[in-house]
Chains A and B, each alone.
Chain A
Amino acid sequence: MATVTRAALQWDYAPAPEARDAASLRSSYDLFIGGEWVAPARRVATINPATEEPLAEVGSASASEVAAAVAAARAAAPGWAALAPLERGKYVFRIARPLLDQSRDLAVVESLDGGKPIRESRDVDVPLAAAHFFSYAGWADKLSYALGGRSFAPRGVVGQIIPWNFPLLMAAWKLAPALACGNTAVLKPAETTPLTALLLASICEEAELPPGVVNVVTGDGAAGAALVRAEVDKVAFTGSTAVGKEIACALAGTDVALTLELGGKSANIVFEDAAIDQAVEGIVDGIFFNQGHVCCAGSRLLVQESVAEEVVRKLWARMERLRVGDPLDKNTDVGAINSAAQLERITSLVAAGSREGAERRSISCALPDAGYWFPPTLFLDVAPAHRIAVEEIFGPVVSVMTFRTPREAIERANNSAYGLAAGVWTNNGAQAFSVARELRAGVVWQNTYNRFDPTAAFGGYKESGFGREGGPAGLLPYVRLTV
């Protein structure tokens, strides 16, 4: 195994931990069904992946508990749909505002439960979640303008299953448009990150949302499967492509609407005329943001041959300065891997990369004894057929490949079953836009990466899923067009 490690420069940062007690965690949480906190039949512990210590007990919803939540949503649906649109919008605004009032609490809990650096929870996840509710709240009484004048009705009850990489933000992406369009929802957070969705349920309660409009059932994959098969009118799923395909099969032949936001193996393309230092920052942001637990992570780095040596040298130097460790430390760049299962997946794919002949370089850094950690890693000499060039790793691992011409870059970038996102780094404006046009991907970042906004549609081509979240296009999945 060609592993190269180098000692990272030891920067003398003083620890700058966010106060753990900023999080108002209770020891135990119920399910939020029909506006009530309902004691679940079974509870499980959710742990801090940075320490493996339990944080709280949460419900592991059974199929019947999921069905109860769907029934509550069903009961609430006619009243919610019949509300005057502006009134419905006002409720959604009422969710957006306290999200910011409680932003510190939410950020700390998000980092504790999911392992992401507090800087990201604080600066990205929570503010963007609030922005999504705020933006979609304003759509509630303007839907006809977004729908090209077509007549429409809410779908009814929507079942929403979200992943563990951006727990609160994904809850916002799902709930905000659903509620604005007049649907009621049953949200199933990820098994390993249930806490901020439960805090969000409390916020819905404080906002005096009518009972049953938002229901939160925590649980594992079985609870998600039960939700898909329950009496829902629409399913929205964000997660792995494999599970997305299972859901599509489960709904085959039914008239339950479906949107899928699935995996990716996004190409980040650096042309020789790019501002290299800026591109290196973008590469780092593209793959190490949130430990690489990002569906649109720039996990395939395509560098023009003439600048490959320089880009790799500068990237490696930058990687060696990444600070890996305590998610609650404000200086931390890379936090904990979300779960033991995910660490195992990253480890096994990285081993496959070495086995298949790519050259692995992982930074040398002190990793805590407890918890789940993986050092930022890059692979050189990667062939397009290597598993690490094809499969989604969903970790802090970037595969570096080179190209000679723009045509070759486009072909390599498009040579994937996925089509979620891509990055293009060049100072040639015409090239930036022509390459962006030819990339078969739902989001293309030019001289930037990992930008998100409630007004900008996000979603994939090909096996990265269908349907969009964000912007007016994000409303479409949540209405039934009536002729």
Chain B
Amino acid sequence: MRPRRAVAKTYKLYVGGAFVRSESGRSDAVGGVNVPRGSRKDVRDAVKAARGAFAGWSARTAYNRGQVLYRFAEALESRAGELARADGARGEHADAGGGEHADAGGARAGGARGEHTGAGGARADAAADELGAAVDLLVHYAGWTDKLGAVLGGVNPVAGPHLSFSLPEPTGVVAVLAPDAPDVLGLVREVAPCLAAGNTVVALVSRTSPLRPLDLGEIAGVSDIPGGALNLLSGRLDELLAPLCGHRDVNAIVDASGDPSIAATIDELAAETVKRVSRPRPDTDPLTRLEAVLELKTAWHPVDT
């Protein structure tokens, strides 16, 4: 076979279902790969896309939303091996597989490749575990969509001639600050409950390992998640925090950054438009995550009058 050079991937933001460069024209080199450095304007575009997608996504039947999330799980599973090998946290994205990408290292940071053989075995297992856990979480939340009403809502036994019931509804556009690590699982853990509940999401992905999270956009893009329902931005926290958390069309903030030093800033930005802020920990249970991005609506209707 004739030797060939591999085609390197250009990493892009995932906004409104499209893969776009940062409008700012900037990028940051992460492990030798250019990663778009999202800007204030990219945040605005992403929030606009998320708002535009909200009416459609939130109006899907619970069954349909569950199927779409399950499809997301299927699509992630099908690429889990590739992502597990692409251990983004160490800047060896997509070149760990060896032979079939013999030349890919030229376009990537190949320096640390040797680690993968030998001592890398345990790490490869951990990477596979992480991807498996992310897939399983998506399956878990796919099953939540049509249980929310039963668990969080119900008919209210009011003392009067009325049918009164309360049902959960999505809060709206949710800003997610994903943790730096684990880059994929940490992102999936926060966006999955938002999507399952019917929200649309603008997520700022891991600052230190943005490559695999951006790959997740490609997987979402082929899994029937409608364009704009999930938007992924890479960039610097100090630049994007204020435009994202202060955006007037964002209804809730999931701060999973794990960084207590930015909590006060986020809360103050949120207070301007009474955004709901949650700070899930890695072990926070799913129902609590769901509740953080749900409203409860109570309807009353007269009977017997």
Give complex CA distance A417, B172 in Å: 13
Contacts A248-B267, A456-B156; A262 near B274 (Cβ below 8 A): yes
Residue of B nearest to A458 (CB): B298
A466 x B300 contact (CB < 8 A): no
Stretch from A108-116, A317-325, A447-455 that touches the partner: A447-455
A442 x B297 contact (CB < 8 A): yes
Interface residues on B, range: 35 or more
Give complex CA distance A228, B288 in Å: 25
Stretch from A40-48, A81-89, A249-257 that touches the partner: A249-257
The verdict on A260 contacting chain B, using a C-beta distance below 8 Å, is yes
* Other-chain residue from B266, B287, B301 in contact with A148 (beta carbon distance below 8 A): B287
Question: B273-305 interface mask toward A, CB cutoff 8 Å, 1 = contact, 0 = none?
Answer: 110100001011101100100011111111000
Stretch from A8-16, A97-105, A362-370, A468-476 that touches the partner: A468-476
A442 x B296 contact (CB < 8 A): yes
Stretch from B70-78, B160-168, B212-220 that touches the partner: B160-168
The verdict on B6 contacting chain A, using a C-beta distance below 8 Å, is no
Question: A259-270 interface mask toward B, CB cutoff 8 Å, 1 = contact, 0 = none?
Answer: 010100000000
Query: Whole-angstrom distance from the CB of B29 to the nearest CB of chain A?
Result: 33
Q: Which A residues touch B159, using CB under 8 A? A: 131, 453, 455
Give complex CA distance A451, B300 in Å: 8
Residue of B nearest to A467 (CB): B276
Q: Taking chain B's interface residues, is the majority helix, strand, or loop, or is none over half, making it mixed?
A: mixed
Contacts A465-B274, A471-B156, A481-B288; A451 near B296 (Cβ below 8 A): no
| Total of A-B residue pairs, C-beta within 8 Å | 118
Query: Whole-angstrom distance from the CB of A148 to the nearest CB of chain B?
Result: 5
The verdict on A244 contacting chain B, using a C-beta distance below 8 Å, is yes
Q: Which B residues touch A436, using CB under 8 A? A: 297, 299
B160 x A453 contact (CB < 8 A): yes
Residue of B nearest to A429 (CB): B301
Query: Whole-angstrom distance from the CB of A186 to the nearest CB of chain B?
Result: 22
The verdict on B23 contacting chain A, using a C-beta distance below 8 Å, is no
Q: Which B residues touch A455, using CB under 8 A? A: 156-159, 164
The verdict on B102 contacting chain A, using a C-beta distance below 8 Å, is no
The verdict on B184 contacting chain A, using a C-beta distance below 8 Å, is no
Q: Which B residues touch A432, using CB under 8 A? A: 301
B299 x A483 contact (CB < 8 A): no
The verdict on B47 contacting chain A, using a C-beta distance below 8 Å, is no
A443 x B274 contact (CB < 8 A): no
Q: Which B residues touch A457, using CB under 8 A? A: 156, 166, 296, 298
A interface, CB within 8 angstroms of B: 131, 148, 150, 241, 244-245, 248-249, 251-253, 260, 262, 417, 432-433, 436, 440-448, 451, 453, 455-459, 461-466, 468, 470-471, 473, 476, 481, 483
Q: What are 26 A-B interface contacts by the 8 Å CB criterion?
A: A150-B285, A245-B272, A248-B270, A248-B274, A249-B267, A252-B267, A433-B299, A436-B297, A442-B298, A444-B297, A444-B300, A446-B299, A446-B302, A447-B301, A447-B302, A448-B301, A448-B302, A453-B159, A455-B156, A455-B157, A457-B156, A457-B296, A457-B298, A462-B273, A463-B273, A483-B285
